[in-house]
Amino acid sequence: MLSLRHLNKTYANGVHASNDISLDIPTGLFGLLGPNGAGKSTLMRTIATLQEPDSGTIHLDGLDVLREPTALRRQLGYLPQDFGVYPKVSALELLDHFAILKGLVQRGERKEAVEALLHQTNLWEARKRAVASYSGGMRQRFGIAQALLGAPRLVIVDEPTAGLDPDERNRFLNLLARISEQVIVILSTHIVEDVTDLCSRMAVIGKGRVLVEGEPKAAIATLRGRIWRGAVSDAQLPELQQRFTVLSSRLVGGKPQINIYAESQPEAGFTQVEPGLEDVYFLQLRAAA
């Protein structure tokens, strides 16, 4: 269990990036949802001991992370949103280099670990290619391979599926799901679909605060009977946004189709629909605005 208690972080420019954040994160895949600028990356860097909070505590199964950051790093796998690679170094060579940095100094043990991870991430056939030549999805899978060196107990991935095509995104998320059967995996993202089906627990963050946390299905159930959908004209949309809680709007057949949160039918032509995690997400962000 990873336990965060009352974490606060304010930057020199006055931005409250973490505002009294408390969470309990068990083994499994944990989704951390929020728009860009919500404070997700700040929280991930704090957990990874890349920066200190102004106040609060972090414990991993009894380990005081802020007092013993080196001990946490030995048990941590971290995939940041962007990471650089040497332009002409193969995946095999680079992963071997990272393994040495992770403390795998015995040649035989290191070779076994590196080859196993290249197989696990489906990169074995491309192991001799330069990582710089990889597609976006292959590069992210290499990122997970390096994060898993040393058998970490906590894995953090920050916006890992941004820019991936649907096949690569599904392949990457399936890989994360398999990994999370044994360890804590925190998936920080603004893509709601990445969390809906895969994460056993999640939290929505906005303006540095935890807006809602728990099981995605339970959060969705709280909106049942309160989500209404209808097609409207461009001219109607501003007036409806003034009168109702419009959660989302997308063009369908050239006309805006909107979801409204309401206790009863807002207007003729609106149909009650099953809510989704996207509705939970947008309702919480509207409430926090």
CATH number for the domain spanning 107: value is 3.40.50.300
pLDDT (0 to 100) of residue 172: 85
- Whether 284 is covered by a domain: the verdict is no
- Whether 65 is covered by a domain: the verdict is yes
Same domain membership, residue 149 and residue 6? yes
pLDDT (0 to 100) of residue 86: 81
pLDDT (0 to 100) of residue 80: 85
How many distinct structural domains can be found in the chain?
A: 2
Range(s) of the domain holding residue 264: 225-273
- Whether 16 is covered by a domain: the verdict is yes
pTM of the model: 0.89
* Structure letter (DSSP) for residue 59: E
- Whether 279 is covered by a domain: the verdict is no
Same domain membership, residue 187 and residue 60? yes
pLDDT (0 to 100) of residue 268: 93
Same domain membership, residue 245 and residue 141? no
Residues 6+ apart with CB under 8 A from 277: 192, 195, 196, 202, 216, 219, 220
Separation between Cα atoms, residue 10 and residue 289, nearest integer Å: 19
pLDDT (0 to 100) of residue 287: 87
pLDDT (0 to 100) of residue 11: 94
pLDDT (0 to 100) of residue 168: 84
Beta pairing class for 255-261 and 245-252: antiparallel
Same domain membership, residue 229 and residue 212? no
Same domain membership, residue 53 and residue 104? yes
Same domain membership, residue 249 and residue 150? no
Same domain membership, residue 115 and residue 239? no
Same domain membership, residue 124 and residue 235? no
pLDDT (0 to 100) of residue 173: 87
- Phi/psi class of residue 14: alpha, beta or left (left: φ > 0; alpha: ψ in -120 to 50)? left
Do 127 and 91 meet the contact criterion of CB atoms below 8 Å apart? yes
pLDDT (0 to 100) of residue 166: 86
- Whether 58 is covered by a domain: the verdict is yes
Mean residue pLDDT across the chain = 92
Same domain membership, residue 170 and residue 234? no
Beta pairing class for 16-25 and 2-10: antiparallel
Same domain membership, residue 254 and residue 181? no
- Whether 286 is covered by a domain: the verdict is no
Same domain membership, residue 134 and residue 255? no
Name residues of the chain where pLDDT drops below 50: none
Same domain membership, residue 254 and residue 127? no
Q: What are the φ and ψ backbone dihedral angles of 172, each rounded to 5 degrees? A: -70, -45
pLDDT (0 to 100) of residue 26: 95
